[in-house]
Amino acid sequence: MINYIKESFEELKSHVTWTPWAEGQRLTVLVAVFSIVFSLAIWGVDTVFSRVIKEYFNLIN
């Protein structure tokens, strides 16, 4: 088990191509922005549907 962990770390250090730091930061910001935009869009749709359903049930009563 210990040998597996050592070999795994060696593989990560010497054989994996890592994204450059600047590109990693840029992509992180991009993901954060899209996550915020997407969550705001879902919140907006949820609010609209909630009001539509509320009005529908008010009409039924």
Contacts of 19 (CB under 8 A, 6+ apart): 27
Tell me the pLDDT tens digit for each residue of 1-43. Answer: 889 999 999 998 888 888 999 999 999 999 999 999 999 999 9
Tokens of 34: 């899209």
pLDDT at residue 4, rounded to an integer: 94
First to last CA, the chain: 67
Q: Kindly report the pTM of this predicted structure.
A: 0.66
Burial of 39 (0-12, 13-18, 19+ CB in 10 A): exposed
pLDDT at residue 8, rounded to an integer: 92
Higher-scoring residue by pLDDT: 2, 49: 49
Confidence grade of residue 61 (pLDDT, cut at 50, 70, 90): confident
